Structure 1
Amino acid sequence: MTKQQGAADAARDAWRSKWGFILACIGSAVGMGNIWLFPSRVAKYGGAFLIAYLIFDIVIGFSGVIGEMSFGRAARTGPVGAFEQACASRGKKRVGTAIGMLPMVGALALAIGYSVVVGWIFKYLFGAFTGSALAYGADVSDVSGYEQAFGQTAAAFGNNMWLIIALVVTFVIMALGIAGGIERANKIMIPLFYALFIGLVIYVGFQDGASNGYRWMFTVDPEMLKKPEMWVYALGQSFFSLSLAGNGTIIYGSYLSDKEDIVSSAWKVALFDTLAAMLAALVIVPAMAATGRTAFDGGPGLMFIYLPNLFAAMPGGQIVMIIFFLAVLIAGLTSLVNLFEAPVATLQDHLHFSRAGAVVVIAIIGSIVSLCIQGIVSDWMDFVSIYVCPLGAGLAGILFAWVWGREKVEDAVSLGRARRVGGWYYPLYKYVFCGLTMAVFLLGIAYGGIG
C-alpha cells in the first residue's frame, strides 16, 4: 500500500462498531420483498416454501453475502474500484472500470424506482394517522375503493409531494455520513422495526381465524416439494432478499474494519433477514386467513389495496395500520439508503467529491428521474431486478473468485478471524454461488421475474 492509499483509507468514513455494520446490512436486506412477496409465497406453497427458502438462504448467506462483504473490504471501495482492482491484477484495469459501472448504475436505477415505493409508504402512513387511508370501506369482499385510491397514487406524477419527502429524509441521513448518519439511523430503526412487527404478530394471533393461517404456513405438503416453480421462487426470494447485486453489500463491506470477522457478520445478517420475512408472514398470512383467503397475490396490491381494506375491518384497525406502515417505512428507508450509497461512494472515491457534494449530485439525479417514472415504476423495477441485479452479482462473483483467485479470496474472507476460513468456502462461492447467480438471471427472464 502506498502512502497516498494509506492516507485515503484513513480519511475514509467507516462503521464505528461491528453491530452498526450488521444492523446496516440487515437494513439493506430487509425490504419490500420480505413484506409483500414472502408472505404470498408462503401462502401459496405452505411449509414447503419455508424449507426451500431456508436451504437457499443458508447456501447464499454463507457464500454470496460473505463474498461481497469481503470483496468490498479487500478493495476498500465500491463496485467500480473493486472491479478495477480485480482486473488490474490481470492488466485489464479499464475493463474493470467499465464492468464496475453496471452494478453501480444498477444500484442507482433500483434506488430511483424504490424511491417511488417509499413515497407511497409515506403517503399511506400519513393516511393511517388521519384515517383517510381506511376510508374506502370495511367490506373485505369489495376493494374497489382501495384499488382506485392506489391507482391514483401510482399514476404518473401521482405522488409528488410524498416522493420528495421520502428523498429528502433519505439524503439527509446519507449526508450525515456512514457512522453519523447511516449507522446511527439503523441502530434506531432496525430494532424498532422488529419490535413493531412482533407487536403485530401478537395482535394478529388473537384474531378469529388466524389459526388457519398458522396451520397452512407450517404444513409441508410433499406434492409442493415436487413443484419446480416453488424451488425457483424460493431461490429468487432468497437471492434478492439478501441484497446481492454486486453493489450495496460490497460498498458496506468497504467501510468495515479489518478486525471484524465477516463470516460471523454474514450469518447474522442472513438470520435476521429471514426473521424479518417470517415476522411479516406471521402477520399477513394469518390476517388474510381470518378473512377466508389462504392464498393471495403479493406485490404492491397486497400492501396498498388488500391490507388497508383488511385493517379497516379489524378492531383497532387504524392503530394496526399505523404500526404496520411505520415498520414498512423503516424497511424501505434502510434499503433505499443502501442502494443510493454505491453511486454516492463512486463520486467520492473516483471523482473526489466531498460527501455532501456527492449526495447533492445523486439527490438531484434521483429526484428528477424518480418523479418522471412514477407511472412506469413497475416496468422499471422489473427490468433492473431481472437483468441488472443478477448480472452485477455474477460479475462480482467472477471477478472475486475466478479473476483474483483462491489465495486472495481466502485471505480476504479470513481477515479478522481467529482461524483461517476452511477449504469449504472457495468452491462454494466459485461454483455454487456463481452458478446460482446465472440461474437467477436465466430463470428471471424465463419466468418474467422471480424476486
Structure 2
Amino acid sequence: MSESAAPTSGAKTRDTWTGQTGFLLAAIGSAIGLGNIWRFPGVAYTNGGGAFLIPYLVALVAIGIPVLWLDYAIGHKFRGSPPWALRRIGAVGEFFGWVQVFVCFVIFAYYAAVIAWAAQYVVFSVTEAWGNDPMTFFVGDFLKVADTDAVHFDFVPAVAIPLALVWLVVLLIMGLGVSRGVEVANRIFLPLLVVLFLALVVRALFLPGAVEGLNAFFTPDWSALTNYHVWLAAISQIFFSLSVAFGIMLTYASYLKPRSNLTGTGLVAGFANSSFEILAGLGVFSALGFMAHEQGVTFSQLEGLTGPILSFVTFPKIISMMPGGPLFGVLFFTSLVLAGITSLLSLLQVVSGGLQDKFGMSPVAASFTMGIPATVISIVLYGTTSGLNTLDIVDAFINNVGIVGSAIATTVYAAILGPKMKGLRAHLNSVSSVKVPRAWDHLVGIVVPIVLGVMLFMALVDYVTKGYGENPAWYVGVFGWGSIVFVGLASLVLTFVPWRHRPITLHISDLTAVSDTEEATR
C-alpha cells in the first residue's frame, strides 16, 4: 500500500516530548546502559589501555555521532517509528523498519532478565549472601544453571519473580506514554543514576590499590593502534553504546517538536555517553586494583574483567573484601538497575511506537500487546535453569548479526532511495545550530556501511566455521540463528499487514512551524 493510500481514519495527535531537555535525558538514558558499566572498561583494557581512547574518540566523532544524526534526521523528518518513517522514504523501507522493531523485541526480552539479576543483588549485597565463592553462588545457587546440552524449563523463582516485577514496572511506565511515562522516568532515574555512580566512583578511588588499577586502565600500549582489531573494537563499542541504527534514536527523534536542535542535541548525547563510560572505567578499575592489592597479585593476573562475570562474580568478591562493602554493593547494583531500566524503556518505545503507528493503538494498548508476550518469553527462556546459556547465545547473535545488519541496510537505504543523504542533511541543517557538512553524505552512506560490512562478515565467518563457544550446534542454531530468522519472518509478516490509519498528525502550531522552516531554507 502506498503512503497516499494509507487510511486516515482513527489518526491521533502524536505525543511529543515536553521539550528539548526531556528528549536529551531520554536519549542519554538510552545510551547509558549495562554495557557502559561492564563492557567498556574491559574492552579498553584488552585493546591498548589508554591508547584505546584514541580510536574510541575517532569512532565517536567519525561514525557514532554521524549515524546518530542520521537516526535523528529520519525520525524527525518523517515523524514516525521505524516502519512508518522508513516506509515514507520508499516502500521496501517498511520491512527494514520492522527489522529494527523486532531486533529491539528480542533484546528487551533478555535485557529485562539482567535487570532482575541486578535487582536481586541489591538485596544480596546487604548480607553479602554470596559468601566466600561468588562464582558458585551466581551460577549454582542463584541461577541454578543447567547443562548446556539441553534446554530446561525448570523455573528459578529467585529470577522469575523479580523478572515479572521488572516487567510490571516498565509496562506501567510505557502505558503512560512518551511525555508522562518515559520522559518522567528518565528525569528521575538518570540524575539518580549519576549521583549514585559518582558516589561509588569516589569511594573506589580512595581504596588501597586504586592507583594500580587506574594505571592498568590508562597506561597506553601504542602498538595496539596498528592492530585493526582494536579499531573495530572501538567502532563496535561506540556503535552499540550509543544505541544507533536499530530504531531507538529514530523513534525518540520522531516525538520531538518541529523546531528542535537535532545536531547540537546529538553532540551532547554522544559525549555524555562517552563521559559516563570513562567514569565507569575509573570506578571499575579502581575497585579491581583494590582487589589485586588485597589478593597480593598483579593486575594482569586478575580474571573476569568484563560482562556479567565482572558484575555478578568479580564485584561481589571486591564487596566482601572492602570496609563498608554492603553499602558499596547496594550503590553498584542499584546503578545497574537504573542504567538498565532507562535503556529498557527506549527499547520498548521502538516496539510500542511501531504498534501505535501501524494499528492506531493507544500507549496502554500497545503496552499490553507487546508486554504480555514479552513477559512470557522472558520468564520461559531466561527465568529458567538454562536461561544464562540461552541469553549468552541470543545476545551475541542479535548484536553482532541483527543490529549490524540492520545498520548496514538503514545507511545504504537512506543513501540510495528517497531524498538521499542530501535531503536528510538539508533537514538537519534547517533546524539545527551545528551545520552538517557535505562530507557527512559520503561518510554515512559509503564509509560506515563498508566498515560495518567488515564487522558483519567477520562475525558470520566466525559463527559459521567455529560455532559459538562450547555450545552444541543445535543450541546455537535454535537460539542464535533462530533469533535472526525470527526477526526476518516477523518483519515480513508485519510488512504485509494493512495499515489501519495514517500516524502523521500535527498540531496547527506544528504545521505553522514546519511551513516557516521550509520557507527559511528555500
TM-score by length of 1: 0.91
The aligned counterpart of 2:131 is 137
In the TM superposition, 1:130-209 aligns within 5 A as 131=127, 134-137=128-131, 143-152=135-144, 157-158=155-156, 159-209=159-209
Q: Residue 118 of structure 1 contacts residue 166 of structure 1 at CA under 8 Å; is this kept in 2?
A: yes
The aligned counterpart of 2:414 is 400
Deviations 1:17-70 (A, max 9, x none): 111111101111111211111111223231122222111112123310010111
Identity of aligned residues (%): 27
SS of the residue corresponding to residue 439 of structure 1 reads helix
In the TM superposition, 1:300-319 aligns within 5 A as 300-319=308-327
Equivalent of 1:340, from 348, 354, 366?
A: 348
Distance 2:434 2:208 in 1: 52
Equivalent of 2:402, from 342, 364, 388?
A: 388
The aligned counterpart of 1:52 is 55
Shift in Å, 1:251: 0.5
Q: Residue 17 of structure 2 contacts residue 178 of structure 2 at CA under 8 Å; is this kept in 1?
A: yes
Q: Aligned pair 1:321/2:329, yes or no?
A: yes
Shift in Å, 1:342: 1.2
**Cα 1:80/1:307, change in 2 over 3 Å:** same
Distance 1:327 1:153 in 2: 25
Q: Supply the AA of the counterpart residue of 1:42.
A: A
Distance 1:322 1:201 in 2: 13
Q: Aligned pair 1:237/2:252, yes or no?
A: no
Gaps of 5+ in 1: 88-92
SS of the residue corresponding to residue 415 of structure 1 reads helix
Q: Aligned pair 1:372/2:372, yes or no?
A: no
The aligned counterpart of 1:289 is 289
Shift in Å, 1:144: 3.6
Q: Supply the AA of the counterpart residue of 2:168.
A: V
Q: Supply the AA of the counterpart residue of 2:13.
A: A
Q: Supply the AA of the counterpart residue of 2:261.
A: D
Distance 2:338 2:9 in 1: 35
Distance 2:372 2:102 in 1: 15
Q: Aligned pair 1:427/2:442, yes or no?
A: yes
Distance 1:16 1:183 in 2: 8
**Cα 1:232/1:447, change in 2 over 3 Å:** farther
The aligned counterpart of 2:36 is 34
Equivalent of 1:117, from 114, 118, 125?
A: 114
Shift in Å, 1:138: 5.2
The aligned counterpart of 2:95 is 98
Shift in Å, 1:340: 1.1
Equivalent of 1:330, from 325, 331, 338?
A: 338
Deviations 1:245-287 (A, max 9, x none): 3311111011111211111011111111111111111111121
Q: Residue 150 of structure 1 contacts residue 304 of structure 1 at CA under 8 Å; is this kept in 2?
A: no
Distance 1:216 1:8 in 2: 59
Deviations 1:183-238 (A, max 9, x none): 11111111221111111111111111110111122221222223332222212111
In the TM superposition, 1:347-358 aligns within 5 A as 347-358=355-366
**Cα 1:229/1:151, change in 2 over 3 Å:** farther
Q: Aligned pair 1:415/2:430, yes or no?
A: yes
Q: Residue 40 of structure 1 contacts residue 296 of structure 1 at CA under 8 Å; is this kept in 2?
A: no
Deviations 1:136-167 (A, max 9, x none): 3358xx74444433442798532110100111
Q: How many residues align?
A: 437
Q: Residue 264 of structure 2 contacts residue 434 of structure 2 at CA under 8 Å; is this kept in 1?
A: no
TM-score by length of 2: 0.79
SS of the residue corresponding to residue 291 of structure 1 reads helix
Gaps of 5+ in 2: 147-151, 293-298, 469-522
Q: Supply the AA of the counterpart residue of 2:129.
A: A
